[in-house]
């Protein structure tokens, strides 16, 4: 199916393209390597591992081996493996902003677990490929959505970890998109169900029908159609990568440092998208890090896939826009749905009534559709999307319950083994 563009539409597209090129030329990128540097600065052992995906991407993931700080004695218990997977436009950095007393990776390491921090293609730790360059070959390199992140990235990461550790299965904690990609994997490659010991999703953005977007659905649909036409003309490319710009980090310092006079304005904007900020929260001492580490890159096709999810209210593979295109891709006129009800794993879901990016109604719907789900509502009147990793109360309200569930699974597995023997 062909379409034609009017002169003014072509003019607008050209202006947009020039703007993108200018921004990428003017703002210097910076590679922070925040994850390994932060872990080392806190005196924990850290390893970098490169995971090659079966479609050619090279992902840097990080490991805190099953030991406490370097100057203390490792725990005696047999080390079980835990993988933490970040959300949309984020990276492994997201887990490490508050420090050892509060961040989930350190708490897991202190509890004796072998902790791995995953990364997906497109962020600052996933910009390498065996043959493609993200700039020179942009239309091919950036031709992915979160479907490929689940089908390839997560699958290959799990297999790499199993080979490296000798463990047959792993514990999994997925934040936001981290829950989404896990369900993509389980619904498209069900043989991976046995490779997870336990699964816990915090604020899983799977169904998105009820998220609070400051625009009418009809407008979002129209913008999605316009964006789809633009991508068909311009091709796939990187977007939402400005946290890697030096200018962005300097701007975050001006806006968000403790005592900055613009800080309340930034918090207000933050709350418009993520949800309300608790009056006692204020993200003291870490707001600049929060701002400076988001966003770190995504594919324009990935963004469009999210728009499609919001407009349709379903959980479907990418819609190529026409019957002919979908038939060529899938052998059917519309994109296939991910059959969530086929997932055999029991999954713990954590959600908030005041999360604008992951509506409580959508999480409860996911809980009904799964064969086995445990719903856990955050007991706060104001708990936004970012609070699942950044809140000063996250250790008591979320991280310790997550560790307790991993531990209880392990103890139950030990009891089952004893009975079997």
Q: Which of 206, 143, 195, 155 is nearest to 171 (CA)?
A: 195
Which pLDDT band, with edges at 50, 70 and 90, does 217 fall under? low
Q: Which is catalytic among the residues 93, 114, 319, 355?
A: 355
Q: Residues 123-167: pLDDT tens digits?
A: 999 999 999 999 999 999 999 999 999 999 999 999 999 999 999
The model's pLDDT over 75-90, given as tens digits with 9 standing for 90+, comes to 434 589 999 999 999 9
pLDDT at 286 over 90: yes
Rg, C-alpha atoms of the chain: 21
Class of domain 7-420: alpha beta
- 3-state SS, one letter per residue, for the chain: CCCCCCHHHHHHHHHHHHHHHHHHHHCCECCCCHHHHHHHHCCCCCEEEEEECCCCEEEEEEEECCCCCCCCCCCCCCCCEEEEECCCCCCHHHHCCCCCCCCHHHHHHHCCCEEEECCCCCCCCCCEECCCCCCCCHHHHCCCCHHHHHHHHHHHHHHHHHHHHCCCCEEEEEECHHHHHHHHHHHHCHHHHHHEEEEEEECCCCCCCCCCCCCCHHHHHHHHHHHHHHHHHHCCCEECCHHHEHHHHHHHHHHHCCCCCCHHHHHHHHHHHHCCCCCCCCCCCCHHHHHHCCCCCEEHHHHHHHHHHHHHCCCECCCCCCHHHHHHHHCCCCCCECCHHHCCCEEEEEECCCCCCCCHHHHHHHHHHCCEEEEEECCCCCCCCCHHHHCCCHHHHHHHHHHHHHHHHHHHHHHHHHHHC
Express each pLDDT in 95-112 by its tens digit. Answer: 999 999 999 999 999 999
pTM of the model: 0.89
Identify the top-confidence range among 70-74, 139-143, 259-263: 139-143
Domain boundaries, the chain: 7-420
More reliable by pLDDT, 200 or 235: 200
Q: What does the pLDDT read at residue 48?
A: 98
Q: Of these residues, 248, 385, 391, 399, which one is catalytic?
A: 385
**Of 176, 198, 299, 348, catalytic:** 176
Residue 76: predicted pLDDT = 38
Mean pLDDT, residues 198-209:
97
Contact 266, 287 (CB under 8 A): yes
Question: Does residue 258 carry a catalytic annotation?
Answer: no
- pLDDT of 243-257, one tens digit each? 888 888 888 988 999
- The mean pLDDT value for 336-346 works out to 98
Verify whether residue 337 is a known catalytic residue.
no
pLDDT at site 396? 97
Query: Would residue 385 show up in a list of annotated catalytic residues for this protein?
Result: yes
């Amino acid at each position: 199916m062909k379409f034609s563009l009017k002169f003014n539409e072509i003019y607008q597209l050209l202006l947009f393209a020039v703007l993108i090129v200018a921004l990428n030329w003017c703002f210097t990128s910076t590679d922070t390597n925040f994850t390994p540097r932060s872990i080392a600065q806190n005196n924990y052992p850290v390893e970098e591992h490169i995971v090659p995906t079966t479609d050619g991407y090279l992902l840097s993931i990080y490991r805190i081996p099953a030991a406490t700080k370097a100057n203390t004695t490792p725990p005696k218990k047999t080390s079980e493996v835990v993988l933490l997977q970040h959300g949309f436009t984020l990276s492994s950095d997201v887990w490490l902003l508050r420090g050892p007393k509060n961040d989930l990776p350190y708490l897991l390491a202190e509890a004796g677990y072998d902790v791995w921090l995953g990364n997906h293609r497109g962020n600052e730790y996933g910009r390498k490929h065996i043959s493609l360059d993200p700039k020179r070959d942009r239309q091919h390199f950036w031709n992915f959505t979160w479907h490929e992140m689940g089908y390839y990235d997560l699958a290959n990461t799990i297999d790499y970890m199993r080979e490296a550790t000798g463990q047959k299965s792993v514990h999994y904690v997925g934040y936001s998109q981290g829950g989404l990609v896990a369900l993509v994997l389980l619904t498209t490659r069900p043989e991976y169900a046995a490779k997870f010991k336990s699964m816990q999703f915090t604020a899983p953005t799977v169904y998105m029908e009820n998220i609070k977007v400051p625009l009418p659905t009809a407008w979002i649909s129209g913008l999605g159609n316009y964006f789809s036409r633009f991508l068909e003309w311009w091709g796939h490319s990187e977007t939402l990568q400005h946290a890697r710009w030096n200018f962005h980090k300097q701007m975050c310092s001006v806006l968000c440092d403790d005592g900055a006079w613009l800080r309340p304005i930034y918090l207000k904007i933050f709350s418009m998208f993520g949800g309300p900020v608790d009056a006692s929260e204020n993200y003291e001492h870490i707001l600049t890090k929060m701002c400076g580490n988001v966003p770190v890159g995504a594919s324009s096709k990935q963004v469009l896939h999210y728009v499609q999810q919001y407009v349709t209210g379903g959980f479907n593979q990418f819609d190529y826009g026409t019957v002919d295109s979908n038939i060529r891709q899938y052998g059917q006129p519309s994109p296939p749905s991910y059959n969530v009800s086929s997932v055999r794993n029991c999954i713990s879901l954590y959600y908030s009534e005041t999360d604008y990016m992951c509506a409580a109604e959508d999480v409860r719907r996911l809980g009904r559709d799964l064969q086995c789900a445990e719903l856990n509502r955050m007991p706060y009147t104001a708990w936004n999307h970012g609070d699942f990793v950044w809140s000063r109360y996250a250790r008591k309200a979320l991280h310790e319950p997550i560790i307790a569930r991993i531990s209880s699974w392990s103890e139950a597995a030990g009891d089952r083994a004893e009975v079997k023997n």
